[in-house]
Homo-oligomer: A and B are copies of this chain.
Amino acid sequence: MDDNGFSFNIAVVGLGLIGGSYAKALRELKPKKLYGIDLNESSLLKAKKMGIIDEGFTDGSVILKEADLVIIALYPEDTVKFIKDNVCNFKDGAVITDTCGVKQMIVEEALSFLPETVEFVGAHPMAGKESQGFDTASKDLFKNSNYIITPHKENSEKSINLIEKMAKAIGCKSVVRVDIEEHDNIISYTSQLPHVIAVALMDSDICKDAIDLFIGGSFRDATRVAAINEKLWTQLFSLNSDRLVYEIEKFQEALNKIKRAIKSQDKSDLEDIFKDAAQRKRMML
């Protein structure tokens, strides 16, 4: 690794929206070599033809031995499987990172498989959009987004710094270190719960002809993420199920409190609940 900071070999695993965006953004940093690993050969060919990757591979057996930094941009279960399947393929001294939206299970599984000669740094880039595949990937996907690194006790400062430096170099605004459990707690509230709600809101048979005329901003906003990627979110929810169930139940209590006030026509109680919510929302803006 010389002075420009990125003249080493990088492998990106999975060239979908997220991995493809990493590859496109990392290409700008002029790494020594940039490799793509994906089961989809046409994505590999396209990426090579565009000059995004130097070479593409359908598995890690050959090329991981050359990779100093490995970015795994797969769904959670596939991330764990890729690590497990390639335990003997990683280069000594390599740093491996991931992009999963839940961290405790991923980090625990990764550490349980990996030898001491390679280091795993868990990370969650808070970037995305509602599309899939290499074609929708963009080198600007990470611009101004937050990048959360969840160090564990065996991580070295040097490896964490490497991921931090990379996250900043691809455009992230804030790169922060957060405790693994705290990450999974907060994410269950700020991301998983709103997705559960959006899905639950669509489960209604009020779909009469005139309904479009009645849909204002509040409904459209609350259901924006209801066109959910079912495989990804099933995995994310399952891997964080205890925390998510806890947050759903807290939300259910809050909902019951409002329902009781509406049912009992307790106007001063309702006004107090609304004032509290409005105040919290304004503080968050």
Contact = CB atoms under 8 A, between A and B. Distances in A.
Interface string A220-257: 01111111111101100110010011011111101101
Interface stretch (A21-29, A54-62, A82-90, A190-198): A190-198
B226 A278 contact: yes
**Interface of A (DSSP majority class):** helix
A111 interface: no
Interface stretch (A115-123, A134-142, A161-169, A210-218): A210-218
Contacts of A196: 255, 258-259, 262
A41 interface: no
A187 interface: yes
As for how many copies of this chain the complex holds, the number is: 2
B210 A191 contact: no
A158 interface: no
Q: What's the interface size class on A, roughly?
A: 35 or more
A105 interface: no
A50 interface: no
Contacts of A237: 262, 270
B270 A234 contact: yes
21 contacts: A126-B214, A146-B214, A185-B206, A190-B211, A190-B214, A190-B219, A191-B216, A191-B219, A196-B258, A197-B197, A198-B218, A203-B251, A204-B250, A207-B280, A218-B224, A221-B224, A228-B277, A228-B278, A229-B278, A248-B255, A251-B255
Interface of A: 126, 128, 146, 148, 174, 176, 178, 182-183, 185-187, 189-191, 193-204, 206-208, 210-219, 221-231, 233-234, 237-238, 241, 244-245, 247-252, 254-255, 257-259, 262-263, 265, 267, 270-271, 273-278, 280-282, 284-285
